[in-house]
Amino acid sequence: MGDIAWWQEGVIYQIYPLSFADSNGDGMGDLRGIISRLDYLNDGTPASLGVDAIWLSPVYPSPLRDCGYDVSDYTDIAPAMGTLADFDELVDRAHARGIRVILDLVLNHTSDQHPWFVASRSSRDNPRRDWYLWHDGGGPRRPPNNWRSRFGGRAWTWDAATRQWYMHGFLPEQPDVNWRNPQVKAAMWEVVRFWLDRGVDGFRLDVVNHYIKDDQWRDNPTRWWYRESPLRSLIAYDRQWHIYDRDRPALKDVLREFRQLLDAYPERMSVGEISSDDPLGVAAALCGPELLHLTFNFAFTHTPWRAAAFQEAIRRWEAALGPGSWPTYTLSNHDVPRHYSRYGRRAAARRARVAAAMLLTLRGTPFLYYGEEIGMRETAIPRRELVDPVGKRYWPFYRGRDGCRTPMQWDATAQAGFSTARPWLRVNEDYMRRNVAAQRDDPNSLLSFYRQLIWLRKATPALRRGRYEPFQEGARESLSFLRHTAEQTVLVVLNFADRPTRLVPDRPWPSRRWRVLLSTAGRNGEELPGLAPVFAPYEVCIMEAL
Ligand code: GLC
């Protein structure tokens, strides 16, 4: 790959705006709060985190039935988060620091309060009727087909006033739009242009592979068994193969149009969220030079803590992607439990470093989730405080996604420096010890480690753009790989085990002499001794061939 784009070599940081920083004391995060923390994210020096872009989860007006993923106006800012003027200022100030801004576009569905849906449901002959997915079914008792909602229950709700069903892949308050209607498409492209013209650098497309549904409304076939996670075989949604309510071939035509629109502006990007029965296959099929720039691969969010399991996840992703495509990696986001907690209690602090080093040295775009850089953990939310509709519905079997969405922990003052008021979700009880202020000046903190990794990545072409080559395939305890450019070779060794491990590559050493660029075992700047080196428990060691 000759030229490499910012969205390939850059580090992207996901902000959950409701929980990042509250500037006006109402307990909810807002745009001015984000502005006030931009220097933390990147002030141009290694004293800051050094991220290249921020992706903001939805900031639009919303009744907040699904925490903003139910949009009631695509071209404005939620009053609780600020104004369009604040947004423009955020973009300007971010750009001044070299930080790009990526917005979350939720175009599969709107809120039921969106004027389009209000019009659509008002009568069968409203001009907007066909903007959503309406169907007679077999009358009020028989929905059109067996489709289920991702959040529980049927994917169809009967509208008594107009005597038809409407389709919703998520909550009934999130009706799916009709992407096969050219007017809808045109209206969506207007939305995209609105933000591009305001200087937005890219978009994350929410559930992008759900946009187009089967035009014959066929039943999904039954799936009897969920091999990866047998418990899911109990959930009605997961007991279907979702071949008719997502992953339809016609989606590619929509994405081609979207890409042309984006390409009319310089240096813009897109990243698609895919949830599918074949996540890698679909993610690979939907990215490339004519389609989305990137697609998410969430494999790391559920890979068990074993070097071989991660190596296999990487191998599959590299193999699935075509030559014109580029990988992405994610450890945590607003939909899954935070990885620090997933990695257990005793070893979490050391595992979090190994995981961060992996994320930031693999070939591909790393997506960080706010707070992971200080080791924020999943917060236990009592039932009466739950906000996430999915948690409310499935409690106590599944407690929902609130636990990974709690306020950013800035310092040890009340509410962790997030707000002066009681926040919309409680702060994790560990905030007095675990916060930015406590870690900022400590060279041994996790935050300092993230900073070192990110700035090392910036300074090391092989880490940003180099080819990926496994160095010891099938190793049980460690993950080691090379990154090559024509001028540079870097070797990354990650010991996943709580005991020392010897590196025995399954191919010739590309060099006899290596200088350590970054090590968690105090070897920085040293030369690596011998050709069968031993690495300490949970050691991270990044070396450059001399
Ligand atoms: C995506 C979002 C999730 C949201 C859902 C419905 O999966 O990441 O938070 O609930 O779409 O919009």
Residues flanking ligand 1, CB < 6 Å: 66, 69, 106, 170, 206-207, 273, 334-335
The Cα 276–Cα 175 span in angstroms is: 20
Nearest to 243 by CA among 219, 208, 279, 227: 219
DSSP 8-state class, residue 86: H
CATH number assigned to the domain with residue range 115-167, chosen from the 4 options 3.20.20.140, 3.50.50.60, 3.40.50.10420, 3.90.400.10: 3.90.400.10
Atom 5 of ligand 1: nearest residue by CA position: 69
Cα(505)–Cα(117) distance, rounded to whole angstroms? 59
Residues in contact with 182: Cβ distance below 8 Å, sequence separation at least 6, in sequence order? none
Torsion of CA 208, 214, 220, 221, to 10 degrees: -110
Cα-to-centroid distance, 287 and ligand 1 (Å): 20
299 with 339: CB under 8 angstroms?
A: no
Q: How far is the CA of 263 from the centre of ligand 1 (A)?
A: 26
Please report, in tens digits, the pLDDT of each residue of the chain (546 residues total): 458 999 999 999 999 999 999 999 999 999 999 999 999 999 999 999 999 999 999 999 999 999 999 999 999 999 999 999 999 999 999 999 999 999 999 999 999 999 999 999 999 999 999 999 999 999 999 999 999 999 999 999 999 999 999 999 999 999 999 999 999 999 999 999 999 999 999 999 999 999 999 999 999 999 988 877 777 878 899 999 999 999 999 999 999 999 999 999 999 999 999 999 999 999 999 999 999 999 999 999 999 999 999 999 999 999 999 999 999 999 999 999 999 999 998 999 999 999 999 999 999 999 999 999 999 999 999 999 999 999 999 999 899 999 999 999 999 999 999 999 999 999 999 999 999 999 999 999 999 999 999 999 999 999 999 999 999 998 999 999 999 999 999 999 999 999 999 999 999 999 999 999 999 999 999 998 788 899 999 999 999 999
Q: Is 407 exposed, middle or buried (0-12, 13-18, 19+ CB in 10 A)?
A: buried
Half-sphere exposure of 282 (CA within 13 A, CB side): 21
User: Catalytic residues, which ones?
Assistant: 206, 273
pTM, two decimals, is 0.98
Rg, the chain, Cα only: 24
* CB neighbours of residue 500 within 10 Å: 13
SS in 3 state form for 225-240?
CCCCCHHHHHCCHHHE
For residue 25, is it left (φ>0), alpha (ψ between -120 and 50) or beta? left
Q: Whose CA is nearest to atom 4 of ligand 1?
A: 69
**CATH 1.20.1510.10 matches 6-110+181-455:** no
Pinpoint the alpha helices (H) of 72-143.
Answer: 84-96, 115-122
Residue 141: CB partners within 8 Å, gap ≥ 6?
none
The candidate with the shortest Cα–Cα distance to 177, out of 235, 234, 254, 283, is 254
- Write down the pLDDT at residue 1: 44
Task: Give me the residue label for tokens 């992703």.
Answer: 317
**Burial 13-48, CB ≥16 within 10 A → b, else e:** bbbbbbbbbbbeeebbbbbbbbbebbebbbeeeeeb
Alpha carbon 178 to chain centroid, angstroms: 25
* Substitution site in 170, 296, 393 for ligand 1 pocket (most atoms within 8 Å of beta carbon): 170
CA dist., res. 332 & res. 405, Å (int)? 11
How far away, in angstroms, is 69 Cα from ligand 1 center? 6
- Which tens digit of pLDDT belongs to each residue from 411-459? 999 999 999 999 999 999 999 999 999 999 999 999 999 999 999 999 9
Asked if domains 6-110+181-455 and 466-545 share a fold, the reply is no
Q: What is the pLDDT of residue 2?
A: 53
Spans of all domains in the chain: 6-110+181-455, 115-167, 466-545
At the top level of CATH, the class of 466-545 is mainly beta
Residue nearest to atom 2 of ligand 1 (CA): 206
